[in-house]
A and B are shown apart, each in its own frame.
Chain A
Amino acid sequence: DTGVSQDPRHKITKRGQNVTFRCDPISEHNRLYWYRQTLGQGPEFLTYFQNEAQLEKSRLLSDRFSAERPKGSFSTLEIQRTEQGDSAMYLCASSWGLAGIADTQYFGPGTRLTVL
């Protein structure tokens, strides 16, 4: 297993366009997370899946953002009607966790989005 992968690595789009990012977690991991990171800041939590169920969404995730994890494997993050403020690095992480036990999150390389 080569770890968490994300596609594409870079995306440049025009304001108002829709974009979709894909994350493939480590195969046996049941948890998947999406974060957003802007330059010089730490990542900000966006959403979290336990298997195929989306259990948590940050208020940062406006109605223009939607995430799915069909069948509890890969996940997609879609941004509709992109705005310049959406320009950031979008990070995906996965982990294996049992209820009540701390887990280590493994991160992918990220997708850098630039909205012109």
Chain B
Amino acid sequence: KQEVTQIPAALSVPEGENLVLNCSFTDSAIYNLQWFRQDPGKGLTSLLLIQSSQREQTSGRLNASLDKSSGRSTLYIAASQPGDSATYLCALSPGSNYQLIWGAGTKLIIKP
């Protein structure tokens, strides 16, 4: 059974630091992996989607990598800002049926 784990559950860093969020999964047979941001009362926003054939995706200050062989994905945030404070979740699709299996998220706090 596929399991997705995100460690740590919470992280607090000063503004301006570069940081890495981790996501691990137990079965390397995945269709794609996505990183989402969740703000209280505002639902989930997709940040980056990496297809199984890709190694990384970039959007602005965000870079997500995927290493299927080791069952890991990372989300790199450069020059963090207080507005980056949110819960970040990774989710993967185990096959072409398109459902997503989710980690529990990392709550990120950027201190001004």
Contacts and interface: CB of A to CB of B under 8 A. Distances in A.
Interface of A: 4, 31, 33, 35, 40-45, 48, 55-56, 58, 91, 93, 95, 97, 99-100, 102-110
Contacts of B34: 104-105
B102 A42 contact: yes
Interface residues of B, number: 26
Interface of A is mostly: loop
Nearest to A3: B43
Nearest to A97: B98
Interface string B37-55: 0000111111001010000
A54 to B, nearest CB: 13
B97 A104 contact: no
A97 B97 CA distance: 11
